[in-house]
Every structure is written in structure tokens, then in C-alpha cells.
């Protein structure tokens, strides 16, 4: 595992330490971790590679992080793979991105099955190319009885559209008499969102130095701890993931007590 430099400002000395799995408290693992996997294009540019090379490298990191999350006992991992805004990118890049779910699943689905991972997705599936939709639906179906980690891909996802769609459905159901407007509370409203049945994220990670939500899970992130890093997604390692969890555990030790 890569070395991490731990700077102790008070002593003005640098001590080399490696953060490992055994330093993570197993009784305080975030149940749901959400990640905005940013910086793939920048990673490629730095190496004079096409942007798609960064996306491909980023896909391999998805596999690594999924394996570690499952080992640690994380229950849900939500990954922002493609936003509703991403359609504005050059057509060849979008076409490449839309092939990644098939490539990922073609390569890793057998391993995910072995590891008891369940593949899920949030986002508007209907607007995906047929080949992408088919691959994701097959993975969801093949893994539907697995009860390990839920690997939840946000694909063609946008949070405002999700909320607006939920409001429209609530209004319809109220009109039909299926729900009583007086009973509409946060729990009932949450059940109209695409994350129905999932707990809210405990920890949000965003890579690549951007400090914003970019239309990601606006409702669900209301109480979530945020962890940002300048590391580009293709460079994101197991140790960075552990670092994020260790930071989360320190924060909940400081603020979580009654
Ligand atoms: C994508 C790789 C990760 C970095 C972010 C952008 C590029 C895995 C998937 C995926 C999606 C659904 C699924 C299985 C795998 C994926 C897109 C982009 C569009 F069921 N990585 N990855 N999908 N990138």
C-alpha cells in the first residue's frame, strides 16, 4: 500500500505512516458511502492521453474501491458514474462512457457474484442507449438475490430532476386519493425518490479538488459528512478510501456523543 506523509505541525516533523485496514474501527464503518468520482479527464490530460483513457483507468478504481468497501462491511456504495449534464460532452466521449458499464460488468460481474455484491442503479434508465440499459438490467437481475454490498451506480442521474419527479408523483397520488396530503412527511417523501429503501449516505467523498455537489443527492446528503481530496479519481487508492473513513470516524467521535 502506498505511503502517506503525516505532518505533525506542532513538532514540525514529518513521520511516514501507512494507514491500513486494521486502523479502521470496525464498529463505526459508514453504512452508506457516496462518491463523486471526478478528475478522470484531468488525469489523462496530465499524461497527454485522450480523456477516455482517464475514464477507463477510473473504471479500474471502481473495482478496487468496491472490493475494499465490501471487505470493510460497508452496506451501500453509491457512485456518480454519469450525470444528466454529461450528455453535453463530445459525442465520441459520451459513446465511450456508455460502453463502460458493459465493459465493467463483462469483466467483473463474475467476481461481484462471488463476493455477493448486488448491483443497483439510480437515474433515468430509459434515456440510456439500449446496449447500456440491457447490460445494467442484466447485472441488476443476476445479482438481485445477493445480500452483500449494494453497489449503486448513479447513471444519467440528476438530483433536481429526481426531486421534481417525486413531487409530480406525490401530486398524482394525492389526486388519486392514494395518499393524504396531511400525511406527507420526510419519510413518505423519501419513498418517492430513486433511493427508496436505501439509507441516506453517511459519508460523501469527492475527488479532484472540486468543492461542490453538482446536482448529486441533494435531499439525501442533508446530514452527511463530506470528505474532499485533490487526488484525481484514477489515482484514488485503497489508502485514500481508508483515510476518508478514518476522518469520518474521528468526526463522529468528536460530535456523535450525547
Ligand atoms: C464510468 C469510470 C469511473 C469514473 C467515472 C466516469 C467513468 C463503472 C461504470 C458502471 C456503471 C453501471 C454499471 C456498471 C459499471 C461506469 C460510466 C462511467 C458511465 F452497472 N465505471 N463507469 N459507467 N466511469
39 dihedral zone (left: phi>0; alpha: psi -120 to 50; beta): left
> Residue 12: pLDDT above 90?
no
Ligand 1 probe mutation, 81, 131, 141, 149, most atoms within 8 A of CB: 81
Helix (H, G, I), strand (E, B) or coil at 219: coil
Strand partners for 77: 33, 151
- For residue 252, what pLDDT band results from cuts at 50, 70 and 90? confident
> Residue 7: pLDDT above 80?
no
User: Average pLDDT, stretch 172-180?
Assistant: 97
Identify the pLDDT of residue 4: 42
> Residue 16: pLDDT above 90?
no
Ligand 1 probe mutation, 153, 208, 231, 236, most atoms within 8 A of CB: 153
Residue with cell 445479482: 143
Identify the pLDDT of residue 255: 62
> Each residue of 130-169: pLDDT tens digit?
999 999 999 999 999 999 999 999 999 999 999 999 999 9
Identify the pLDDT of residue 254: 67
User: Average pLDDT, stretch 82-92?
Assistant: 98
Cell reading at 84: 444528466
Q: Cβ(105) to ligand 1 under 6 A?
A: yes
- Strand order, beta sheet including 150-157: 118-122, 150-157, 76-83, 32-36, 203-206, 225-228
**How many angstroms separate the alpha carbon of residue 216 from the centre of ligand 1?**
16
Q: Cβ(193) to ligand 1 under 6 A?
A: no
User: Average pLDDT, stretch 231-250?
Assistant: 98
> Residue 13: pLDDT above 60?
no
Give the residue whose CA is nearest to atom 21 of ligand 1. Answer: 59
In the chain, the domains with their CATH numbers are 30-160+200-249 (3.40.1180.10)
Cell reading at 170: 406525490
> Residue 8: pLDDT above 50?
no
> Each residue of 93-115: pLDDT tens digit?
999 999 999 999 999 999 999 99
Identify the pLDDT of residue 17: 77
Instruction: Enumerate the active-site residues.
Output: 38, 86
Cell reading at 183: 400525511
Higher-scoring residue by pLDDT: 88, 8? 88
> Residue 253: pLDDT above 90?
no
Mean pLDDT score of the chain: 93
Identify the pLDDT of residue 11: 46
How much of the chain, in percent, has pLDDT values that exceed 70? Answer: 91
Compute and round to an integer the Cα radius of gyration of the chain: 19
Closest ligand 1 atom number to CA of residue 80:
5
Closest CA to 202 of 228, 222, 186, 230: 222
User: Average pLDDT, stretch 232-245?
Assistant: 98
**How many angstroms separate the alpha carbon of residue 249 from the centre of ligand 1?**
28
Amino acid at each position: 500500500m502506498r505511503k502517506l506523509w503525516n505532518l505533525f505541525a506542532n513538532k514540525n516533523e514529518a513521520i511516514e505512516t501507512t494507514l491500513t485496514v486494521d486502523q479502521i474501527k470496525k464498529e463505526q464503518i459508514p453504512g452508506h458511502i457516496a462518491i463523486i468520482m471526478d478528475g478522470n479527464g484531468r488525469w489523462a490530460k496530465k499524461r497527454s492521453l485522450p480523456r477516455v483513457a482517464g475514464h477507463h483507468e477510473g473504471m479500474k478504481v471502481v473495482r478496487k474501491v468496491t472490493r475494499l468497501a465490501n471487505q470493510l462491511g460497508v452496506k451501500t456504495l453509491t457512485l456518480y458514474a454519469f450525470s444528466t449534464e454529461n450528455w453535453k460532452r463530445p459525442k465520441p466521449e459520451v459513446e465511450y462512457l456508455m460502453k463502460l458499464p458493459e465493459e465493467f460488468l463483462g469483466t467483473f460481474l463474475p467476481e461481484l457474484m462471488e463476493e455477493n455484491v448486488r448491483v443497483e442503479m439510480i437515474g433515468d434508465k430509459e434515456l440510456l442507449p439500449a446496449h447500456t440499459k440491457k447490460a445494467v438490467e442484466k447485472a441488476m437481475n443476476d445479482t438481485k438475490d445477493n445480500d452483500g454490498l449494494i453497489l449503486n451506480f448513479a447513471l444519467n442521474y440528476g438530483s433536481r430532476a429526481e426531486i421534481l419527479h417525486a413531487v409530480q408523483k406525490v401530486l398524482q397520488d394525492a389526486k388519486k386519493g392514494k395518499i393524504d396530503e396531511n400525511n406527507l412527511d420526510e419519510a413518505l417523501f423519501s419513498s418517492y425518490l430513486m433511493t427508496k429503501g436505501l439509507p441516506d449516505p453517511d459519508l460523501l467523498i469527492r475527488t479532484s479538488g472540486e468543492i461542490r455537489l453538482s446536482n448529486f443527492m441533494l435531499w439525501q446528503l442533508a446530514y452527511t459528512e463530506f470528505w474532499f481530496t485533490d487526488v484525481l479519481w484514477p489515482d484514488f487508492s485503497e489508502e485514500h478510501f481508508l483515510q476518508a473513513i478514518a476522518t469520518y470516524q474521528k468526526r463522529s467521535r468528536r460530535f456523535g456523543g450525547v
